[in-house]
Amino acid sequence: MSTSREWVGRRLGTVPGGGEDGDGAFQVVGKAMPRVDAVSKVTGATVYADDLSFPGTLHCVLLRSPLPHARIRCIDVQEAAGLPDVVAVLTGAAMPTRFGVSPSSEEEQALAADKVRYVGEPVAAVAARDEATAREACKMIQVDYELLEPVTSIDQALEVPMDEPIHAASKDGNVHRLASLEFGDVDEGFAASDHVREDVFFYEGSNHLAMEEHSATAIFSDGQLTVWSSTQSPHSVHRALSSVLGLPMRRVRVVATPHGGGFGGKVDPCSHEIVVAKLAMITGRPVKCTLTREEVFYNHRGRHPVLMWVRTGVTQDGRIRAMHFRTALDGGAHASLGAATTYYTGALQPATYDLPAYRFEGCRVFTNKAPCGPKRGHGTPQPRFALELHLDKLAEDLGMDPVELRRRNYVRPNSRTVNGLRITSCAIEKVTDEVLAASGFSRRERRDGHGQGFAVSAYLCGAGTPMYLNRMPHSEVSLKVDRGGVTVFCGATDIGQGSDTVLATLVAEELGLERGDVRLVTGDTGLTPVDLGSYSSRVTFMAGNAAIEAARKMRATLVAAAAEHSGSRPAEMTVAGGKIGPLSFEQAVAAAEERYGTLGSVGSYAPPPSISASKYRGSAVGPSPAFSYSAAVVDLDADRVSGEVRVNKVWIAHDIGRALNPVLVRGQVEGGVYMGLGEALMEAQAYRNGLLHHPSVLEYKTPLSSDMPEIEQLLVEQPDPEGPYGAKEVGQGPLLPVVPAVVSAIHDALGVWVDEVPVTPEKILRALDAHAKGSDPRTGPRSFPEIPYPPCEKVALPDAASATL
Partner 1 sequence: MLRLPRFSYLRPASVAEAVAMLADHGDRSSVIAGGTDLLPKMKRRQVQPTVLVGIAHLEALSHRETTASGAVEIGASRTLTSVLKDAELAHHQPGYAQAAGLVSSPALRNTGTVGGNLCVDTRCNYYDMSEEWRTASGSCLKTGGELCRLAPSSPRCWAISSSDTAPIAVALGATAVVAGPEGEREVPVASLYRDDGNAHLALGRGEILTRLRLPAPDGWRSSYVKLRRRSSMDFPLAGAAVALKIDRGVVEGCRLVLGAVASQPVELSDLVHGLVGQPLDEEAIEEVASGASRLAKPLDNADLSYVWRKRMVKEIVARAFRQAATSEVAAVP
Partner 2 sequence: MLRLRVNGETYETLTESNETLLEILRERLGLTGTKHGCELGECGACTVLLDGTPVLACLVLPDQIDDAEVTTVEGLADGSVLHPLQEAFMALGASQCGYCTAGMLLSAKALLDEQPDPTREEIRAALAGNVCRCTGYASIVDAVALAAKAPKGAR
Give CA–CA dist 481/484, Å, rounded: 7
DSSP string for 729-780: --SSGGGTTHHHHHHHHHHHHHS-EE-EES--HHHHHHHHHHHHTTS--EES
Q: How does DSSP classify residue 372?
A: B
Site for partner 2 contains 433 (CB under 8 A): no
Looking at 174, 232, 233, 290, which residue binds partner 1 (CB under 8 A)? 290
Give CA–CA dist 115/65, Å, rounded: 10
Question: Of 495 and 592, which has the nearer Cβ to partner 2?
Answer: 495
Region 651-680 residues binding partner 2, contact defined as CB under 8 A? 663-664, 666-667, 670-675
Tell me the window of 43-51, 447-455, 460-468, 758-766 that interacts with partner 2 (CB under 8 A): 43-51
CA-to-CA separations, 70 to 144, 517, 529, in angstroms, rounded: 10, 57, 42
What burial class does residue 173 get, using C-beta atoms within 10 Å of its C-beta: 0-12 exposed, 13-18 middle, 19+ buried?
middle
Site for partner 1 contains 566 (CB under 8 A): no
Question: Of 212 and 635, which has the nearer Cβ to ligand FES?
Answer: 212
What burial class does residue 781 get, using C-beta atoms within 10 Å of its C-beta: 0-12 exposed, 13-18 middle, 19+ buried?
middle
Looking at 45, 132, 437, 796, which residue binds partner 1 (CB under 8 A)? 132
Region 109-128 residues binding partner 1, contact defined as CB under 8 A? 119
695 binds, among partner 1, ligand FES, partner 2, none (CB under 5 to 8 A by kind): partner 1
> Cβ 549 to ligand FES, closest distance in Å?
31
Site for partner 2 contains 349 (CB under 8 A): no
CA angle 431, 435, 439 (to 5 degrees): 175
47 binds, among partner 1, partner 2, ligand FES, none (CB under 5 to 8 A by kind): partner 2
Helix (H/G/I), strand (E/B), else coil: 266: coil
Site for partner 2 contains 26 (CB under 8 A): no
Site for partner 1 contains 742 (CB under 8 A): no
Q: How many residues bind partner 2 (CB under 8 A)?
A: 67
> Cβ 690 to partner 1, closest distance in Å?
8
664 binds, among ligand FES, partner 2, partner 1, none (CB under 5 to 8 A by kind): partner 2
CA angle 349, 353, 359 (to 5 degrees): 50
Tell me the window of 393-401, 601-609, 685-693, 738-746 that interacts with partner 1 (CB under 8 A): 685-693
Question: Of 70 and 518, which has the nearer Cβ to partner 1?
Answer: 70
Looking at 47, 93, 437, 556, which residue binds partner 2 (CB under 8 A)? 47
Looking at 22, 27, 30, 34, which residue binds partner 2 (CB under 8 A)? 34
DSSP string for 306-331: EEEEEEEEE-TTS-EEEEEEEEEEE-
693 binds, among partner 2, partner 1, ligand FES, none (CB under 5 to 8 A by kind): partner 1
Site for partner 1 contains 8 (CB under 8 A): no
DSSP string for 385-448: HHHHHHHHHHHHHHT--HHHHHHTTB--SSEE-TT-BEE-S--HHHHHHHHHHHHTGGG---BT
Site for partner 2 contains 264 (CB under 8 A): no
Tell me the window of 44-52, 63-71, 389-397, 763-771 that interacts with partner 2 (CB under 8 A): 44-52
Question: Of 231 and 290, which has the nearer Cβ to partner 1?
Answer: 290
β-pair partners for 128:
59, 86
Q: What sign for the dihedral angle of Cα 731, 736, 737, 739?
A: positive
Q: In degrees rounded to 5, what are phi and psi of residue 499?
A: -65, -30
> Cβ 244 to partner 1, closest distance in Å?
25
Site for partner 2 contains 46 (CB under 8 A): yes
Helix (H/G/I), strand (E/B), else coil: 225: strand
Looking at 695, 734, 737, 798, which residue binds partner 1 (CB under 8 A)? 695
β-pair partners for 632:
455, 652
> Cβ 553 to partner 2, closest distance in Å?
31
Site for partner 1 contains 643 (CB under 8 A): yes
Looking at 259, 422, 474, 728, which residue binds partner 2 (CB under 8 A)? 259
CA-to-CA separations, 432 to 55, 407, 455, in angstroms, rounded: 57, 9, 9
> Cβ 697 to partner 1, closest distance in Å?
9
Site for partner 2 contains 234 (CB under 8 A): no
CA-to-CA separations, 773 to 396, 625, 770, 776, in angstroms, rounded: 22, 51, 5, 9
Site for partner 1 contains 693 (CB under 8 A): yes
CA-to-CA separations, 558 to 513, 577, 596, 725, in angstroms, rounded: 13, 15, 10, 21
Helix (H/G/I), strand (E/B), else coil: 204: coil
283 binds, among ligand FES, partner 1, partner 2, none (CB under 5 to 8 A by kind): none
Helix (H/G/I), strand (E/B), else coil: 674: helix
Give CA–CA dist 748/449, Å, rounded: 8
Interface ranges with partner 2 (CB under 8 A): 1-3, 5-13, 16, 34-35, 37-48, 50-51, 208-213, 258-263, 292-293, 495-498, 663-664, 666-667, 670-675, 696-698, 702, 704-706, 708, 710-711
